[in-house]
């Protein structure tokens, strides 16, 4: 009888890809949703901000309560890497600790019941057997690990290291292999995607990569996540808009817009240039523009915050991700005088309200249009509705639309359909299938 594995992947999609690599190494195990019957439990943790750390620790402790006798509890990922000494001392519940360097050795670590922290951050390669769990048509593709930026609030470079890009050849081979298995939609990810290839001496590495991906038979749709303002070029923006494969999707976390704050945050690209880039993105036909902002960073004056609010209200982002500032050791903001927690929370709420209004306006603009969307299955909202995702949108973060009329077409999960958007109902769009396009 095969042994059973329960894996929980927390945090971002980059972590998810690493979890899928571990699943690939443990393909002999039967996956179970029930932790109490698992022989091995792995929690691939996130250590980005306070809330993520708390979630990681509580998940591990909950699973420890549920686990059966003689099972192995493994903690991997960013949190484990970042606090390795402390966690190994303070969490005897865990049998095996590993960080961000040993994903492809997870089978060995489990067999030998050894903890391990390789000094090198693991960089995916095309030969890693990876089991993609969430979808049978969409995959995340990791382009690089690490980051060369020095944002004041971010601890990621301290445990993920400097930018380390995969070769174009490795990435295109992986994508090509996935298309052989039916995958046709891809989201390209890294910490700072617009810097892709700079460590290998490529000036416009992202454009080079896109051109190579466009030539792979079977790639129907793709998008790039996480552009960084000062490394995003006008030619990158134009290339994305002109591509027949890449969606006109721009995800550029700005974190703030006020000049003074951008300096404090060590994102020295300035308000004017950031706005120029965003305007160029917005001017592209049917573009989708997403960003992230932080509320309550040290030294954020009321004027700076109001400037941010006004800009977000006026620009018309399709989506805004709002983070409450989290004070992280080993960052430059850590030793700055902090704003009171209630101000951070109040500002987070104000920004979240702006983000919601912005999203609703973006949805409203889609009513009456026809879009390509992929069917994901029955909706969890109602048994008579189907859930679909516009191919323009990224999975999970941008939401779903609901199909309430199939026009008697045969419906297949993973099929791409021309959908007419008929109305907005709260935070959802309703649509009618017109015809199948893939």
**Which part of the chain contacts ligand SF4 (CB under 6 A), choosing from 73-81, 154-162, 229-237, 294-302?**
154-162
Tell me, rounded to whole angstroms, the distance of Cα 437 from its chain centroid.
27
Could you tell me the smallest distance in angstroms from the CB atom of residue 151 to ligand SF4?
3
Please state, in angstroms and rounded to a whole number, the distance separating the CA atoms of residues 133 and 128. Answer: 15
Could you tell me the smallest distance in angstroms from the CB atom of residue 266 to ligand SF4?
8
Site for ligand SF4 contains 143 (CB under 6 A): no
Could you tell me the smallest distance in angstroms from the CB atom of residue 325 to ligand SF4?
12
Please state, in angstroms and rounded to a whole number, the distance separating the CA atoms of residues 365 and 56. Answer: 38
Site for ligand SF4 contains 194 (CB under 6 A): no
Residue 260: exposed, middle, or buried by beta-carbon count in 10 A (0-12, 13-18, 19+)? middle
* Residue of 20, 95, 145, 192 interacting with ligand SF4 (CB under 6 A): 192
The alpha-carbon radius of gyration of the chain (Å, integer) is 22
Please state, in angstroms and rounded to a whole number, the distance separating the CA atoms of residues 6 and 25. Answer: 14
Please state, in angstroms and rounded to a whole number, the distance separating the CA atoms of residues 434 and 407. Answer: 7
**Which part of the chain contacts ligand SF4 (CB under 6 A), choosing from 55-63, 144-152, 278-286, 362-370?**
144-152
Site for ligand SF4 contains 304 (CB under 6 A): no
Comparing CB distances to ligand SF4, the nearer of 157 and 390 is 157
Site for ligand SF4 contains 154 (CB under 6 A): yes
Which single residue is written with the structure tokens 């951070």?
344
Comparing CB distances to ligand SF4, the nearer of 156 and 210 is 156
Please state, in angstroms and rounded to a whole number, the distance separating the CA atoms of residues 207 and 128. Answer: 25
Contact criterion met (CB below 8 Å) for 128 and 187: no
Q: Could you tell me which of 75, 180, 156 has the C-alpha nearest to residue 117?
A: 75
Site for ligand SF4 contains 157 (CB under 6 A): yes
Site for ligand SF4 contains 151 (CB under 6 A): yes
Hey, what are 303's tokens? 């004027």
Comparing CB distances to ligand SF4, the nearer of 154 and 392 is 154
Site string for ligand SF4, 216-235 (x = CB under 6 A): ------------x-------
Site for ligand SF4 contains 167 (CB under 6 A): no
Which single residue is written with the structure tokens 């109305």?
423
Could you tell me the smallest distance in angstroms from the CB atom of residue 206 to ligand SF4?
15
Please state, in angstroms and rounded to a whole number, the distance separating the CA atoms of residues 144 and 168. Answer: 11
Comparing CB distances to ligand SF4, the nearer of 262 and 281 is 262
Site for ligand SF4 contains 156 (CB under 6 A): yes
Contact criterion met (CB below 8 Å) for 159 and 152: no
Site for ligand SF4 contains 165 (CB under 6 A): no
* Residue of 147, 240, 416, 429 interacting with ligand SF4 (CB under 6 A): 147
Please state, in angstroms and rounded to a whole number, the distance separating the CA atoms of residues 107 and 42. Answer: 12
Whole-angstrom CA distances from 395 to 42, 87, 186, 226, 401 are 24, 33, 10, 14, 12
Please state, in angstroms and rounded to a whole number, the distance separating the CA atoms of residues 50 and 55. Answer: 9
Site for ligand SF4 contains 191 (CB under 6 A): yes
**Which part of the chain contacts ligand SF4 (CB under 6 A), choosing from 89-97, 152-160, 179-187, 339-347?**
152-160
Binding site for ligand SF4 (CB under 6 A): 147, 149, 151, 154, 156-157, 191-192, 228
């Amino acid at each position: 009888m095969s042994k059973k594995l329960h894996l929980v992947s927390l945090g971002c999609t980059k972590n998810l890809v690493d979890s899928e690599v571990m699943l690939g190494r443990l393909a002999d195990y039967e996956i179970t949703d029930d932790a109490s019957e698992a022989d091995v439990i792995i929690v691939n943790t996130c250590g980005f901000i306070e809330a993520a750390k708390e979630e990681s620790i509580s998940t591990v402790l909950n699973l420890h309560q549920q686990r059966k006798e003689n099972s192995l509890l493994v903690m991997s990922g960013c949190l484990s890497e970042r606090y390795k000494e402390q966690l190994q001392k303070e969490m005897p519940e865990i049998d095996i600790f590993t960080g961000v360097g040993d994903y492809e050795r997870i089978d060995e670590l489990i067999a030998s019941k050894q903890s391990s922290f390789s000094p090198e951050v693991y960089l995916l390669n095309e030969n890693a057997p990876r089991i993609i769990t969430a979808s049978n048509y969409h995959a995340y593709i990791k382009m690089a690990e690490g980051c060369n930026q020095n944002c004041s609030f971010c601890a990621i470079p301290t445990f993920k290291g400097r930018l380390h890009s995969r070769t174009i050849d490795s990435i295109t081979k992986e994508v090509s292999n996935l298309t052989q298995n039916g995958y046709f939609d891809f989201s390209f990810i890294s910490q700072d995607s617009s810097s892709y290839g700079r460590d290998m001496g490529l000036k416009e590495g992202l454009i080079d990569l896109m051109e190579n991906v466009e030539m792979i038979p079977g790639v129907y749709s793709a998008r790039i996540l996480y552009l960084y303002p000062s490394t995003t070029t006008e030619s990158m923006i134009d290339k994305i808009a002109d591509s027949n494969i890449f969606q006109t999707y721009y995800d550029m976390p700005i974190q703030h817009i006020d000049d003074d704050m951008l300096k404090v945050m060590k994102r020295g690209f300035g308000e004017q240039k950031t706005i120029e880039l965003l305007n160029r993105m917005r001017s592209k036909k049917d573009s989708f523009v997403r960003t992230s902002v932080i509320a309550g960073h040290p030294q954020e004056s009321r004027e700076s915050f109001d400037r941010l609010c006004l800009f977000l209200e006026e620009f018309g982002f399709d989506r805004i991700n709002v983070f409450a500032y989290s004070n992280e050791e080993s960052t430059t903001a850590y030793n700055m005088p902090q704003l009171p927690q209630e101000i951070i929370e109040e500002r987070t709420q104000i920004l979240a309200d702006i983000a919601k209004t912005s999203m609703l306006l973006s949805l409203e603009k889609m009513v009456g249009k026809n879009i390509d969307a992929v069917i994901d299955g029955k909706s969890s909202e109602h048994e008579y509705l189907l859930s679909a995702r516009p191919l323009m949108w990224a999975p999970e973060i941008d939401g779903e639309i609901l199909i309430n009329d199939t026009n008697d077409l045969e419906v297949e999960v993973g099929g791409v359909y021309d959908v007419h958007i008929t109305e907005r109902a709260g935070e959802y769009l309703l649509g009618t299938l017109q015809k199948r396009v893939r």
